[in-house]
Amino acid sequence: MVILSTERFDLRPLEQADRQALHAIFGDERAMEHYTRTMTPDEVGMLIASHQVRQAETGRSLWAVVERASGEVVADCGLLDQQVEGYLQPQVEIAYHVRPSSWRQGIASECAIAVRDHAFGALGLERVISLIRPENEPSRGVARKVGMQVEREVQYAGFLHEVWSVSRDG
């Protein structure tokens, strides 16, 4: 089941068959530089299972980014409900992770823009955020392309993060 498509990619719910492809991201030290640690293949399997539950319950989760030309899962991108310091309600975050061998090809930007449009269109959301560590310049660049601006700084997962946001009305 494809949730949405871009020029080059189809985004669909995660499957356990994506475990190896996602481990190429979550198990890679470079890809996880701005996170607490890498994951084992079993932890990636548990991550997939948790996103399958999120998808079933809310219609929002990380989705597999499948390159149509090759049929390969090259990234994930989606919407996550996050409890963020200083906000009364959970915030809906656009999140993305791209395998290192596919960096610098515009995948995160292309997919994050499509996810933003899906959030504002089909899902009727008024606002979305991205939580980004200040030193993560590539993700900051993606946020800018999505139309986001820094709203504030917060502590999240034990690290300083910037809350980038964009509203439906701009």
R_g of the chain computed on alpha carbons: 15
Q: First-to-last CA distance in the chain?
A: 30
Cβ contacts of 61 within 8 Å, gap of 6 or more: 13, 14, 51, 52, 54, 55, 78, 79, 80
Note the pLDDT tens digit of each residue in 109-162: 999 999 999 999 999 999 999 999 999 999 999 999 999 999 999 999 889 999
- Specify the pLDDT at position 36: 84
How many domains does the chain contain in total? 1
Record the pTM. Answer: 0.94
Domain hosting residue 53, numbered range = 4-167
- Specify the pLDDT at position 135: 95
CATH number, domain containing residue 80: 3.40.630.30
pLDDT above 90 for 68:
yes
- Specify the pLDDT at position 87: 86
In this structure, are residues 98 and 111 in contact, taking their beta carbons and an 8 Å threshold?
Answer: no
- Specify the pLDDT at position 9: 98
Sign of the torsion angle spanned by Cα atoms 31, 32, 38, 39: negative
Residue 86's pLDDT band (cuts 50, 70, 90)? confident
116 backbone dihedrals φ, ψ, rounded to 5°: -60, -50
Note the pLDDT tens digit of each residue in 3-37: 999 999 999 999 999 999 999 999 999 998 888 88
pLDDT above 80 for 47:
yes
